[in-house]
Structure 1
Amino acid sequence: MELFDVYPLYDVTPVSAKGIVITDDKGNKYLDFYGGHAVISIGHSHPYYIERIKS
């Protein structure tokens, strides 16, 4: 199935994220202002939730 041509596609491969910063496989850093569909906006790797998941 082919994707609908609704959103532009970028040649970005995220490899890590912390807070609102995403780093791609080329070392470029991006600010992630997108909270996502039906999710809360807590950023990436929030320490409270990381600790809760670990415990």
Structure 2
Amino acid sequence: MRKSLTTGGNMIILGIILLIIGLIAHIGILTTLGIIILIIGAVLAILGAMGREIGGRRHFY
């Protein structure tokens, strides 16, 4: 597996964890951060899978 997919995957997992904790504990900021990190992780994973440069780098580590 490419590192760009792994890093994006890690961000997606972190976003899901924060989203679940925020929903269970009724903490709005965690829910919001979870959604934001989930979206950013998905975008990075998709761009990395397409082989696009992210932030001036060919690979996102």
Structure (1 or 2) with the greater strand fraction: 1
Class of the TM-score when normalised by the shorter of the 2 chains = under 0.3
**Higher CA-based Rg:** 1
RCO higher in structure (CA 8 A, sep ≥6):
2
TM-score by length of 1: 0.26
Structure (1 or 2) with the greater helix fraction: 2
TM-score by length of 2: 0.25
